[in-house]
Every structure is written in C-alpha cells, then in structure tokens.
Amino acid sequence: MAIARIALPVAVYGEFDYWVPSGLSLVEGSLVRVRLAHRARVGVVVGLADVSEIETSRLQPVTEVVAGFAPLPADLLAVARFVAGYYHEPLGQVLAQMLPPLDREAGPRRHATPLAGPLTLTAEGLAELPQRLARSPRLAALFASWRAAEDSVIAEHELRALPSHVRAALRGWLAAGWIEPAPDVPPAPAPHEPNPEQAQAAAAIVAAQGRFAPFLLQGVTGSGKTAVYLAAAAAAVAGGAQVLLLVPEINLTPQFERRVKDALPGRSVVTLHSGLAAGLRRRHWQAAAMGAADVVLGTRLAAFAPLPRLGLVVVDEEHDPSYKQQDLVRYHGRDVAVWRARLRGVPVVLGTATPALETLLHAQQRRYDWLVLSRRAVPEARSPQVVLADDRTAPANEGLADALVAAIGQRLTRGEQSLVFVNRRGFAPSLLCSSCGWQAGCPQCSARLVVHRDAGELRCHHCGHRARLPRSCPDCGNVDLFPLGHGTQRLEAALAARFPTARIARVDRDSTRREGAFAAIREQVHAGEIDVMVGTQMLAKGHDFPRLTLVGVLGADNALASADFRATERFGALLFQVAGRAGRAGLPGEVIVQTRYPDHPLFAALARNDYDGFAAALMEERRAAGLPPFARLALLGAEAPERAAVERFLAAAQQRGLAIVREQELDVEVFPPVPSALARRAGQERGQVLARSASRGALQRFLARWREDLDALPARGVRFALDVDPAGFS
C-alpha cells in the first residue's frame, strides 16, 4: 500500500501517515487535502513510503490533490526543513506559512486589499472589462472616462466621491487584478546617470551572478540604493532569472512598486503580502511558481515564494524590525532570504542606511561583501543640521520645545513642510489624579490606559480594552484628572492652537484606519496642501516629501531609557532615517530632537551623520554585555492565567535546561525565570527564561533537546513558545 507522509499545520511535531488511493499520483511537495480529527486540512507531502508504523486499518486516505497547484519545488522543501529545524517549530507550521491561503474553511481571515487611490487599469483589466460591463451603464461610463484619463489613473479624492455600490464593484476589480495601485507621486524626474559608486556597486553584484555572494549595500538616505538594486535586477532578469525583492511594508510605500515596474518595462512584477485579497495572493504566488513572474516584490512572507529561476535576492531596509515575525513561526525574513540565496547559490543584497549590528559584524568580518554609497545621488542635497533641545533646561510648552515651535513658524512663513515625530498614538499615555496619585491602569494588563480624547475613551494598546473617560477619580472622587505625557493627538491639538492657520495632518494607526485615508494624506502632502505632519513611525518609512525641511523628534528618551537591549539600536536607526527625510531636494534640512540626555553619544553621531560611529559604540556595549551579535539568544516565553503556574513551569524548564547543559557539556547558559517586561497581558501572566551561548551550534544542539523536554513537562493551562534570535525582551 502506498503511504504518504504529510506535514500538517498543527502544533504537533512529526508528520502524519495517510494511504494513497489508486489513481492519485503524488510526489514530494504535492499539496493535498486530508481529514484530521474530523476537520479538512491542507498539507504537504514530505515523504512517500510502502509501509507505515501505524496499523493499516487505522489510516485514512488522502482526500484529494489541491487543484491547480504544482508540487512545491525541492529547494523550498529544503528551506522549510531548515527553518523548522532552526526555529524548532513543526514542519507543517512552517509549510503553512509558505503557502497562500488555500483552505476554504481554514484560510486565514485577511482583510481585503484596501480600496485606496490612486488606482490605474491593468492590461488585464483593459482587455477583460469592456465585455463584462455591457449591462452596467454606470460602471461602463466610469471605465470609459477612466481609460480616457491621463495615465488611466483615478485619484483618491475621485475615488472617495463614488457611491458605495460602485466602490464595492471596484473592490472586486482590485481583487481580480483588473486595477492596481498607481504611482501616488508625480512621475520621478528622469533617473540620474549612476554615479561611480552606484555603478561600481551594481557591477559587483552583477559579477557575482550564479554563486552565493552576500552583500551589505550601505548608503545614506537619498544615496540611490534603489537604483543599484534595480540595475542588478534588470541584469538578472535580462539573463532569464527571477528576482526576489523584499521590503518591510508595501501598503505604506506604493511608489516603490511603481519604481520597480518602471525600471523593468515589459516585465512581470507581482506583489506578495498579507494585505492582498486571497485570490490575488494565490494568483501571484502561482505566477512566481510557474516562472511567469520576473520579479516578486513582497514583505517577509515572500521570502518563501516558490521561484524556479531564482537568480538574485534583495532585502531592502534589512535592519527593519518588521522582518521578524512575532507569532507562530518566529522567523526572520532577512535571515530566511540569506539562507535561500545560499541554498540556491545566488547573490543576496542587504540594503540599508543603518545596518543591523548582526549584518554589520558580518561585513566587518568579511563574510559579506561591503558596498558603500557615501554620497547622496542628488548632488545638491545636503545632510541636515541637528539641534538638541534640552528638555531639562527648557521646559516644553504642551510637550513642544520653544526652539521647535519657532522653527515650525519659520517653515510656515517660507511655505515649507515640517514633520513632528513621536512614537505614541492617542492623546496622552496616561491619566493621573492630581490629588491621590491614582493612574488609570488596564484591568487585563500591567500597563497604563491611554487617553483617547476624541473618542472620550481610555484604551489599552496591548489588549484593546476600552473604558469611558472617567469624570472623577475612582479612588478619591477628585474631579481634577489630568492627562500625563504627549501622544500624537495632543500634539496635533497643541500645534493647531499655536498655529491656527496651519494645515496639520496626523498620521498614526488611528487616523489611517479608514480605507484609503493614508493615501489621501500622502496625496495632500505631495500637492503641498499640508504644512505640518504629526505622526508615529509610519511617517519614517520610505516617503519622499519634497518640501520637507524640518523634522522634530519627541519621546526620544523612552527608547534611550528602555530595558530592552535592542531599543537604542532600533531608535537610532529610526532617527537616522527620519533625519534623512529632511531637506532632500536641495532645500537645507534641520532636525530638532527634544531630550533630557543631550550628552547621549547617539545625538553626537547623528549631528556628524555618522551611523558607523554610533554602531561602533553600540557594538562595544554588546560585546561587553555578551549580547548579540556576540552571543546567540533564545527566549522561552510562557503565559497562563495564574502567576504561580507560569513560575512553576518556567522553574522546571530552567532545571531541565541546566540538566541538559550538564549532561551534554554544552557551552550554554540558562538563566533563572523572570517576569516579562509586560508582566500581564490580556489577563495572562507572562514570564520568560533566557538561554544564551557564544556558539550558534551549541545553542542549536541545546534547543533541539530542550524543546523535546519542554513538551513533556507538566504544563497545565500554560502556553509557551520558543523565540530563537528574539527581536528584544518583551
């Protein structure tokens, strides 16, 4: 009897045996439907055999092969096995991460691609739509005027003016691939001739075609890294290869997609990210798998796209924290991309202005080729001037330093744009009673509730808990409650009060929740209809605002004082990025940072535009503390409704860990359990045990054994997960 070993997306290690009905032809990598515990599941065949250890009468048959899907290629199965082994997760879970939503019943519930302008008709749409609209005069008229419009583009404000049933129809068009996001910026000026550095970098990458060659491409914001990627990609595609291009976030940066398409005319560029409608994501995935797509542009999940002719891998903004997945399989998209390039023997380019310390160390130790773009591609663009506003000596007015207020005033007079960056949404991070000191806390979490004044609510940003804004203190009855600290909403209000005629836009997750809202704001900013933007890190990602000459940074001290060892690195990278946004098109830029630590070396480095100096100082701290990239970490996180249960489980886990280290004489430390930084979340008590080693191999041997033992520990009501190479301590 033919037996198929099938990996299924369940939290159980090992594969499941099914018998293969005659007439069903399966190979390794086939996608199949089976039943498991009375539920239909999609799995992947990872082995074929003649016998099973399970009694034949107890085996179930494979129900069917998933129609229309070729088997996964061998190299992708190899990547899946490697990822499952490295992160100590079941193979079936890893494979489920790789696949687009297939399962009618169990597919992930993704929100559809937002209907946001500007949109343009695709070639497919131009061909398909005319015959489908015969019976819908309203849509036919829209289509006709759209096709006649310049560039066949419909803008966000036109889109919003359409009646809802037309918008509903357009959502269908978007899902079908008949329309797609259009450039939201005026067409870029003709690309500059590559400067010698850019030409050299591209030539080095092209020369490495056909072998594994990792590159760090380091270049300040505006130095033209994208032009280097695109030159290398064009060469690879011209040679018949497929290119995998990873970016941290696609929805926020549609202009990047446009640039890729413009640089590769006549080539097929498809996107892969979780925001795509299921049908579209399946089609793009298949286009990649069939070799029809020349370029796959996507977020971390695209690191697993099937690419039979893969010839080049590019990871843009390789330092970005969003490459690390924080649940299920906790993989790092950049690391997976490098492994893929190694397994396939192709070059991989990691591009950034602010390399992650891990990547920088590889480059310093010459495991990666280090390409540097030291000058800005637009020659007249200069690095911005950095000014520190000392929050100790100059008490800020409604959170804003006098120097920042004055600088914004100047920009308004000159008709230039300003950006105020603060990484806190809401009105104020907490609500305080002036009489007894009570602060509003979340009943489910060890966290303060955030004041959302517009909604008249207190909200928890960890679990979503909401409560009405109280009129008086629940402890002492005092009615004098005041909001403590400054979120984006409060700063927006303060700026509006100070500059009543300024046009101010707030950009954060609350203000952009509505479909198309972010695109609308971006359109206004580019049209010069916005003077001041207030927002969170959404504003830091890859936007080029031509009249922006001032960036104000608030809340810097939260990152600098954080207990998380990566907080300073992340904040530093963000700061260099936002600073790079100021003064890009020949207008001189200025960055004003408010801080109580003006002597922090980060700011001196920022003023010199010296990321390398900043990174070198951080690197020394990490070396001294025995932290990554000089050590490997794994974090065992556990949670349960009762603190005692978490503590019991983690204590037993540490004891098991110590025993393994002794038995196997491994160079691994296993630290005592501690509460997580957020000790309670959504009613769950949380804690963690850290394992550390200077050797990746030793840590991996340890984890393989520990993981098995953890499954055998009594863990009543305790949920736990291993995080290899954690993004931080949370």
Report, in Å, the least distance between residue 457 CB and Zn ion: 13
Can you tell me which of 442, 533, 554, 605 binds Zn ion, judged by CB under 5 A? 442
Can you tell me which of 11, 144, 476, 694 binds Zn ion, judged by CB under 5 A? 476
Q: Which two tokens stand for residue 527?
A: 């049209």
465 binds Zn ion per the rule CB under 5 A: yes
Q: Give the binding range for Zn ion (CB under 5 A) out of 362-370, 400-408, 478-486, 487-495.
A: 478-486
Report, in Å, the least distance between residue 460 CB and Zn ion: 3
Place of tokens 């583009």: 153
Nearer to Zn ion (CB atom), residue 462 or residue 707 = 462
Q: Are 550 and 407 in contact (CB under 8 A)?
A: yes
Report, in Å, the least distance between residue 448 CB and Zn ion: 9
Q: Give the binding range for Zn ion (CB under 5 A) out of 139-147, 453-461, 573-581, 618-626.
A: 453-461
Report, in Å, the least distance between residue 562 CB and Zn ion: 19
For residues 533-572, which are near Zn ion according to CB under 5 A? Answer: none
Q: Give the binding range for Zn ion (CB under 5 A) out of 192-200, 281-289, 438-446, 574-582.
A: 438-446
Place of tokens 């940003």: 461
- With contacts defined by CB under 5 A, how many residues of the chain interact with Zn ion? 15
CA 355 to chain centre: 16
Place of tokens 């357009």: 170
**CA-to-CA distance for 403 and 389, rounded, in angstroms?**
7
Report, in Å, the least distance between residue 434 CB and Zn ion: 8
Report, in Å, the least distance between residue 481 CB and Zn ion: 8
The side-by-side arrangement of strands in the sheet containing 16-19 is: 16-19, 3-7, 39-49, 31-36, 64-65
Nearer to Zn ion (CB atom), residue 264 or residue 450 = 450
Q: Are 295 and 245 in contact (CB under 8 A)?
A: yes
212 binds Zn ion per the rule CB under 5 A: no
Mention every residue, 6+ apart, whose C-beta is less than 8 A from residue 592.
Answer: 387, 388, 389, 401, 403, 404, 407, 550, 551, 552, 553
Nearer to Zn ion (CB atom), residue 60 or residue 434 = 434
Nearer to Zn ion (CB atom), residue 397 or residue 439 = 439
**CA-to-CA distance for 692 and 699, rounded, in angstroms?**
7
Residue 582 phi/psi, 5-degree rounding, is -80, 135
Residue 82 phi/psi, 5-degree rounding, is -65, -45
Q: Which amino acid is at 455?
A: A
Report, in Å, the least distance between residue 148 CB and Zn ion: 52
Q: Give the binding range for Zn ion (CB under 5 A) out of 50-58, 74-82, 134-142, 435-443.
A: 435-443
Nearer to Zn ion (CB atom), residue 448 or residue 541 = 448
Encoded one letter per residue, x for contact with Zn ion by CB under 5 A and - for no contact, window 374-413 reads ----------------------------------------
Can you tell me which of 463, 519, 666, 727 binds Zn ion, judged by CB under 5 A? 463
Report, in Å, the least distance between residue 364 CB and Zn ion: 42
The helix (run of H) or strand (run of E) holding residue 352 is strand 347-352
Across 377-499, the runs of DSSP E, i.e. the strands, are 385-390, 417-422, 430-433, 450-452, 457-459, 466-468, 481-484
Q: Which amino acid is at 518?
A: F
Nearest Cα neighbor of 530 from 420, 406, 404, 417 is 417
445 binds Zn ion per the rule CB under 5 A: yes
The conformation of residue 298, written as its DSSP 8-state character, comes to: E
Can you tell me which of 124, 151, 398, 475 binds Zn ion, judged by CB under 5 A? 475
Q: Which two tokens stand for residue 77?
A: 């199965």
Report, in Å, the least distance between residue 36 CB and Zn ion: 35
The helix (run of H) or strand (run of E) holding residue 154 is strand 153-154
Q: Give the binding range for Zn ion (CB under 5 A) out of 141-149, 336-344, 457-465, 528-536.
A: 457-465
Nearer to Zn ion (CB atom), residue 438 or residue 630 = 438
Counting Cα atoms < 13 Å in the Cβ hemisphere of 3 gives: 15
Q: Give the binding range for Zn ion (CB under 5 A) out of 165-173, 219-227, 335-343, 460-468.
A: 460-468
Can you tell me which of 176, 473, 618, 633 binds Zn ion, judged by CB under 5 A? 473
Can you tell me which of 444, 524, 562, 700 binds Zn ion, judged by CB under 5 A? 444
**CA-to-CA distance for 43 and 80, rounded, in angstroms?**
13
Mention every residue, 6+ apart, whose C-beta is less than 8 A from residue 680.
Answer: 444, 445, 446, 686
Residue 400 phi/psi, 5-degree rounding, is -105, 125
Report, in Å, the least distance between residue 649 CB and Zn ion: 23
Q: Which two tokens stand for residue 523?
A: 């359109």
Report, in Å, the least distance between residue 479 CB and Zn ion: 10
Strand partners, 270: 296
Report, in Å, the least distance between residue 477 CB and Zn ion: 7
610 binds Zn ion per the rule CB under 5 A: no
Nearer to Zn ion (CB atom), residue 172 or residue 683 = 683
Can you tell me which of 269, 341, 460, 519 binds Zn ion, judged by CB under 5 A? 460
Report, in Å, the least distance between residue 459 CB and Zn ion: 9
**CA-to-CA distance for 123 and 126, rounded, in angstroms?**
5
Nearer to Zn ion (CB atom), residue 38 or residue 468 = 468
**CA-to-CA distance for 352 and 349, rounded, in angstroms?**
10
Can you tell me which of 82, 212, 370, 438 binds Zn ion, judged by CB under 5 A? 438
First to last CA, the chain: 50
Can you tell me which of 72, 433, 554, 575 binds Zn ion, judged by CB under 5 A? 433
Report, in Å, the least distance between residue 450 CB and Zn ion: 10
Report, in Å, the least distance between residue 470 CB and Zn ion: 10
Q: Are 670 and 691 in contact (CB under 8 A)?
A: yes
Q: Rounded to the nearest 5 degrees, what angle is found at the Cα of 86, between the Cα atoms of 80 and 89?
A: 70
Q: Give the binding range for Zn ion (CB under 5 A) out of 118-126, 322-330, 408-416, 467-475.
A: 467-475
**CA-to-CA distance for 453 and 480, rounded, in angstroms?**
16
Nearer to Zn ion (CB atom), residue 403 or residue 460 = 460
Nearer to Zn ion (CB atom), residue 1 or residue 467 = 467
For residues 257-296, which are near Zn ion according to CB under 5 A? Answer: none
Nearer to Zn ion (CB atom), residue 291 or residue 470 = 470
Nearer to Zn ion (CB atom), residue 482 or residue 671 = 482
Helix (H, G, I), strand (E, B) or coil at 570: helix
Can you tell me which of 110, 462, 498, 719 binds Zn ion, judged by CB under 5 A? 462
458 binds Zn ion per the rule CB under 5 A: no
Mention every residue, 6+ apart, whose C-beta is less than 8 A from residue 42.
Answer: 9, 31, 32, 33, 66, 99, 102, 103, 106
Nearest Cα neighbor of 316 from 234, 218, 222 is 218
Q: Give the binding range for Zn ion (CB under 5 A) out of 133-141, 235-243, 442-450, 718-726.
A: 442-450
The side-by-side arrangement of strands in the sheet containing 457-459 is: 450-452, 457-459, 466-468
* Contacting positions for Zn ion (CB under 5 A): 433, 435-436, 438, 442, 444-445, 460, 462-463, 465, 473, 475-476, 478
